[in-house]
Amino acid sequence: MSEKKLRMVHYLNQFFGQIGGEEKADVAFSVKEGPVGPGVLLQKLLGEDGTIMATIICGDNYFAGNLDRASEEALKLVEPFKPDILFAGPAFAAGRYGLNCGEFCKTVGGKLGIPAITGMYQENPGVEIYRKDCYIAQTGDSAAKMAEAVNRMVSIARKVISTETHSKVLAGDQIGKPSEDEYFPRGVLRNEHTEKTAACRGLDMLLAKIKGQPFVSEVVMAKYDSIPPPPPVKDLKSCEVALVSDCGLCPKGNPHGLSGRGNKVWCTYETKDLFPEKGSLPEYEVAHTGYYPKEVLENPYRILPVDIMRELENEGIIGKFHPTYFCTSGNVTPNLVCHDMGEGIAAEIKKRQIGAVILTST
């Protein structure tokens, strides 16, 4: 482990923080120097490698009652200790505590840019919500399994902050696989060093497949739901139609911060501002690295046929061309993110009672 003695801060609820039981769930934050409760075991296992500078204690209801306020307060209390790593809980199966630990790890760890480790039982609702934002060690369902839980949290901590160089992960940060270090998968895909080249692995797989022998594909395709299409528009002449696009075309300066790859943001622009009918068009940029944008920048109507839509409205072929353009960038965006963005855009479309949508893409 690292030669430098690492500084750690530990978050506990009122019970494990030895203030009281459920009757004390409304207590506000307090800070104690050094380790408290399970923190004592945590410190013992860490030994010379790290020091728990302080324990931040807060009642489960106080925290859960206002997550934003609680995270802000927690951050203010934690920051002066200049920690290298954060611990929270473990929360086992306790729902409120689990959610609070997760939120603490996510926001305080996130703002300080340091790793945060907690522990939960698989059914704790905090797992699904926070497993991507911090390391959640897998634990038993009660404090009867405290020793095992704390052991796992420490073992993850040792890996995460290690300066050893024999990491399998290309980026070099030392972290074991979820199954090895017994934490919940964080939904991250990492490049690893391996013995065989992809060509070698591919041909091994191919030869097995040709011979009818079993093989394991490196990727098993996801199963997608079949979404039945809605019924067609009854009367286009009275229908309001909007343009939605994943082309990434936006005003120069990209005010909503669309990412050119793996984008997670959607936004709207008024067509009268972005594509004024009179005078010159403003300057655009394209936040999308999957196509060469020259033609689109020279003529945005290539990807957003605003001109045609206006003609169709004038000719009475469509009832109305909705004055807002729904904009996103779709370049290797993960399915779940696409799903969320789609749901968000659809909700807004429905709220505005828009009857139909034309989706353009590249």
Partner 1 sequence: MNLEIESIDIRELKKGAKTCVSDHVLTVNLKELEQVLLKGSGCLKSVDIHLVYPGDSVRIVNLMDVVQPRCKVDVQDAHFPGFIGKVQRAGVGRTRSLRGIAVVVANPYTKRHYSALLDMSGKAAELSKYGQMRNVVVVPHMAEDAEDRDFEDVVKIAGLKTAVYLAQAADGHPADEIEHFDLHLPSLPRDNGLPRVACYYQLYTPQHDYKGISDKCFYGTDVRNLLPTIIHPNEVLDGGVTGHQTIRSLDTYTVQNHGVIKELYSRHGRDLTFCGVVIGVANMDPVQRQRKAMMASGLIANVLGADGVMTVKAHGGMPHVDTGLVAEECERLGVKTVYSIQCLVGHGSLAEAAIYGSNLLDAIVVTGAPVEKMKLAFKPERVLGGTPKTKIYHPDPVTQLAGDSTIEVEEFLIAGVHDQTGGARIIVSEY
Residues that bind partner 1 (CB under 8 A): 132, 169-172, 175, 177-178, 185-203, 205-207, 209-211, 215, 217-222, 224, 254, 257-262, 287, 289-292, 294, 331-336
137 in Cβ contact with 183 (< 8 Å): yes
Residue closer to partner 1 by CB (options 107, 333) is 333
Minimum distance of partner 1 from residue 178's CB (angstroms)? 6
Minimum distance of partner 1 from residue 319's CB (angstroms)? 32
Residue closer to partner 1 by CB (options 70, 327) is 327
**For residue 293, how far is the Cα from the chain centroid?**
29
Minimum distance of partner 1 from residue 117's CB (angstroms)? 15
Residues 96 and 132: their CA atoms lie apart, in Å, by: 18
324 in Cβ contact with 269 (< 8 Å): yes
120 in Cβ contact with 90 (< 8 Å): yes
Residue closer to partner 1 by CB (options 12, 258) is 258
Minimum distance of partner 1 from residue 193's CB (angstroms)? 6
Residue closer to partner 1 by CB (options 51, 289) is 289
Residue 123: exposure state from Cβ atoms within 10 A (0-12, 13-18, ≥19) = exposed
Residue closer to partner 1 by CB (options 302, 320) is 302
Compute the CA torsion angle 200, 204, 207, 213 (nearest 10 deg). Answer: -170
Minimum distance of partner 1 from residue 105's CB (angstroms)? 17
Helix ranges restricted to H, 257-355:
271-274, 294-298, 306-314, 335-351
Q: Which amino acid is at 87?
A: F
Minimum distance of partner 1 from residue 134's CB (angstroms)? 13
DSSP code at position 223: P
Minimum distance of partner 1 from residue 152's CB (angstroms)? 16
Residues 258 and 107: their CA atoms lie apart, in Å, by: 22
**Unique residue bearing structure tokens 């394209």:** 286
Residue closer to partner 1 by CB (options 76, 132) is 132
> Which residues touch 155 (CB under 8 Å, ≥6 apart)?
181
In DSSP terms, 71 is beta-bridged to: none
